Amino acid sequence: MCLGIPMQIKEINGYNARCEAKGVEREVSLFMMQHESLEIGDYVLVHVGYAIQKIMPQDYHSTWELYDEVLEGEKSERV
């Protein structure tokens, strides 16, 4: 029940949007997204018919990656 689905915004109409995922289109409420400026083409995470967050592509998946990179960097600086 807590699973969200990433969908792409195709059309915005006030608090309603038409979103698409894997060829399927759905009406999605943007009522919970008033803090965010959304545009057509943006991806949102949709749960029980509501967009609950904008999806931001990110590179890193653990703080340890950055931590190790910094350590690596420090080591090579010292050499």
Contacts with other proteins, residue ranges (CB under 8 A): 1-4, 15, 27, 29, 31-35, 45, 47-50, 52-65
Q: Cβ closer to other proteins: 4 or 8?
A: 4
Helices and strands, number each (H, E), in the chain: 1, 5
Rounded Cα gap, residues 59 and 69, in angstroms: 13
Q: Which is nearer to other proteins, 21 or 52 (CB)?
A: 52
CA–CA separation, 11 and 3 (whole Å): 23
Min separation Cβ 54 and other proteins, Å:
8
